[in-house]
Amino acid sequence: MKNLLKCSVCALALAGATSVMAQPQAGDWEFTLGGGGSSDQDFDRGGFGIDGSFGYFMTQNFEVALRQNINFQGQSSDEEWSGSTRLAADWHFILGQFVPFIGANVGMIYNEDASAWGAGPELGFKYYVHERTFIFGMAEYRWFFDDFDDAEDNADDGHFAFTVGVGFNVGGR
C-alpha cells in the first residue's frame, strides 16, 4: 500500500512537471495531420476528409498557419471530391497541457466543378500528451463568396467542418 501511495505521488509530481513543459514557444513550427468531417448548416448533407497544416508561432500565444484538406462528399449517385487551402490565425490560451484556441481563416475552397473564396471563425483545443506532441480537435464555420463584397450576404449559407488529429511542435527552443 505504501508503494502504491509513493508511486501515485511521483506520478502526480511528474504530470505537473510535464504540464509546465507542454506549451508552444515563440519560434516553434507546428505540423498537424487529422481526419474530419463537414456538414451543411442544417446537418443534412456532409462528408469526410483528410486535413493537414503547417504553422508558425509568432509569439507563445499567436500562431499563423497554412491549412489544406481534401474531402469526399457523397449522397447516393451524387459524389464529389473537394478541397480547401486556407490561411489561419489563432490565439492560444496556455493552460498547461490543455491549450484551447480561437481564430479565423480565409482561403480558396474548390471542387470538381467550381471554386470560391471561403472564410470563417474556428475554435478548438490541443492536449499535450508529451512535451512536443499533442492531440487536437477543431470546429470551423465556413461561408463562401465569389468576391469580398458578397461575404457578408452569404454568412448564413455556409457549412461546418470538424477535425481531430495529432500534431507536433518542432524548433524554436
| 2-170 CATH | 2.40.160.20
Could you give the C-alpha distances from 109 to 49, 103, 157, in angstroms and in order? 14, 18, 14
What is the predicted pLDDT for the residue at 52? 97
Structural domain boundaries in the chain: 2-170
What is the predicted pLDDT for the residue at 94? 95
What is the predicted pLDDT for the residue at 146? 76
pTM, 2 dp:
0.77
Give the tens place of pLDDT for each residue, 123-135.
Answer: 999 999 999 999 9
**Along the chain (173 residues), what's the average pLDDT of each consecutive run of 10 residues?**
49 46 86 85 74 97 96 71 93 96 95 88 97 95 74 64 95 72
What is the predicted pLDDT for the residue at 8? 45
